[in-house]
Amino acid sequence: MSNKSNRKVALITGITGQDGAYLSKFLLDKGYIVYGAVRRTSSLNTIRLTELDILKEVKLVTMDLAEITNIQRVILDIEPDEIYNLAAQSFVQTSFDQPIYTSEIDAIGVTRILETIRMMGGGIKFYQASTSEMFGKVINSPQNEETPFYPRSPYGVSKLYGHWITVNYREAWDIHACSGILFNHESPLRGSEFVTRKISIGVAEILKGHRASISLGNLNAERDWGFAGDYVNAMWLMLQQEKAKDYVVATGKAHSVREFVEKAFNVVDITIEWIEDNGIENGHCKKSGKILVDINKDHNRPSETDHLLGDASKAKKELNWQPKINFEQLVEMMVKKDLIRLESNG
């Protein structure tokens, strides 16, 4: 298949995820032809593409990052101008249970795509989704492009390989390949296994009487949380630069899980009061006294990354990128969307 259209062609791996959906919408609005790589599965989840009303506009193709001949065939067929590799086993806790699968997709899968680009002459621009989890055990704060990495999970370690192999192919083969070191970015499309959505869904269900409380782990873990819709703009900007570089993408403001909980309940006019009982601090409704947030240490990671704060000065200066949605707006957006979903589902 030869793309003779004047429109740019993009291939997005992980198109059914949060970032893939927002990036697809962004590129479609810019006039791109958008292909989305999906794994062959009996239960393809296209709910995010449907929610953004773009499912019929993207072209889905079957591609498995564990199989290089499949990758080569798809890329040869599509002839993309740009490839955005967003596919990953991206849940940190799961990576401790499935370390080999995580490394197969998040590390070696990146090499398979880059090697295919090299074999095709190196003309395709490549974006690798790196992550702030690569910083892990924080040595300097805030973290920027020069901060040493010290990943604290199989996910972080695998992503670090993906990051450095991207740098290596850029330098060794002169491929326009870059990594976006994205700090935590959330949205109403975030998976329900992530703590932010766990909280926003929990608040909505508590308000509607569907459950009594939310069970959480480490309240003091701090993250630099931004809006995913803002961050996909930075991905695109990186591939439009004359010279490929790596960039940190972040808001520059850190907030704790505790703060996220408090802000989320504030959206529905509930004030949380933290009361310690037998060494465990639970969140009580200040008005009724009921426990709405119960702390269970089983939710804690085997090795925790406590404080992540990004310095996106380079992206702001060279890409002219700025986050538009702040922390309070993000939390409110997520809680209100989950309330709407709950009401529409009866």
- Provide the annotated active-site residues: 131, 133, 155
Which tokens belong to 155?
A: 């996910």
Which tokens belong to 337?
A: 């969307």
Residue showing tokens 């479609």: 28
- The crossing angle, in degrees rounded to 10, of helices 18-29 and 228-239 is 60
For the chain, where are the E strands, in sequence order? Answer: 9-13, 33-38, 59-62, 82-85, 125-131, 177-182, 185-186, 214-216, 222-223, 226-227, 247-249, 255-256, 272-277, 280-285, 291-295
Is the Cα dihedral 16, 17, 18, 23 positive or negative? negative
Radius of gyration over alpha carbons of the chain, in Å? 20
CA distance 129 to 87: 8
